[in-house]
Amino acid sequence: MAFSTKDQVQAAIENYIADLAQPLRALNQQIFETPELAYKESNAHDRICDFLESLDIPVTRHAYGLCTAFEATAKAGNYSGRCVNFNAEYDALPDLGHLGHACGHNLIATASVTGFVALACVIGQFGLPGQAQLLGTPAEEDGGGKIDLIHAGAYGNVDASLMVHPMAEEEFAKDQVIGIAGRSSISCYDIIATYHGVSAHAAANPWEGRNALDALVMAYNGISMLRQQIGPDERIHGASNYPGAHSH
């Protein structure tokens, strides 16, 4: 394994990405100009796979039983160490016409592709221990493509899973905040609680009952009060804050 310093690896990454600036910009534009809905992202799937193959990176198209999912991996020799995963989202928001990529999935896809190919490059160049994986993850906006991939075992070898979401810098620059509340990561841990009650007649024998709703309300109120005391770089939710999400 070749010895390398952090600065050498960083310089190699910067130079590699700089050389790919125009092809990456073109890839981003191709995805942006052809917004596709969940599970129908054929253009984005094909364009990204074509781009990776142009760099001599093997790609499994239509991976894990999903027509518009793909997988690419990279490692040094036969080393099978820790695996860093990048997620490329590329479906468009429904019902927005020409603003289909208003959530920036063209940028999310391009950022994940860039991170993966750069890591794959230095893994090969410096013989770095570890693996890189890029997953094309369809149906983020509607349908749950990542859930399908989890069930199919796509993340079974993953030690760290990454993606990048774009945002308007001017929204935060005035407050000197980088990202959402200055967080460097939005990794999360879910705890799902089920409350079981016991029915009893409210007039005849209420003392024999256990009210699961009361327990839920007390837990939610306690978590809600706790939210006021944690730092701005932390998040805790007693229940999901948008329709269709799971409780946390």
For residue range 148-168, list pLDDT tens digits in order: 999 999 999 999 999 988 877
- Could you read off the pLDDT of 195-242 as tens digits, one per residue? 899 999 989 999 999 999 999 999 989 988 988 888 777 778 776 544
User: What is the sign of the dihedral through the CA atoms of 153, 158, 159 and 163?
Assistant: negative
Q: Select 6-166's CATH number: 3.40.50.1110, 3.20.20.100, 3.40.630.10, 1.10.3720.10.
A: 3.40.630.10
Look at strands 131-137 and 83-89 and give their pairing.
parallel
pLDDT of residue 243: 40
* Residue 243 vs residue 142, higher pLDDT: 142
pLDDT of residue 230: 84
Residues 6+ apart with CB under 8 A from 95: none
The single residue listed with the structure tokens 């969940």 is 38
Q: What is the mean pLDDT of residues 82-96?
A: 91
Give the Cβ contact number of residue 127 at 10 Å. Answer: 14
Is there a contact between 83 and 133 (Cβ–Cβ < 8 Å)? Answer: yes
**Beta bridge partners of residue 89, listed in sequence order:** 137
Give percent of the chain above pLDDT 90: 62
Residues 6+ apart with CB under 8 A from 85: 132, 133, 134, 135, 155, 158, 160, 161, 162
Spell out the domain ranges in the chain: 6-166, 190-248
Q: What tokens appear for 50 in the block?
A: 């074509």
User: What is the sign of the dihedral through the CA atoms of 210, 214, 218 and 224?
Assistant: positive
What is the C-alpha R_g of the chain? 23
Give the integer Cα–Cα distance in Å for 172 and 183. 12
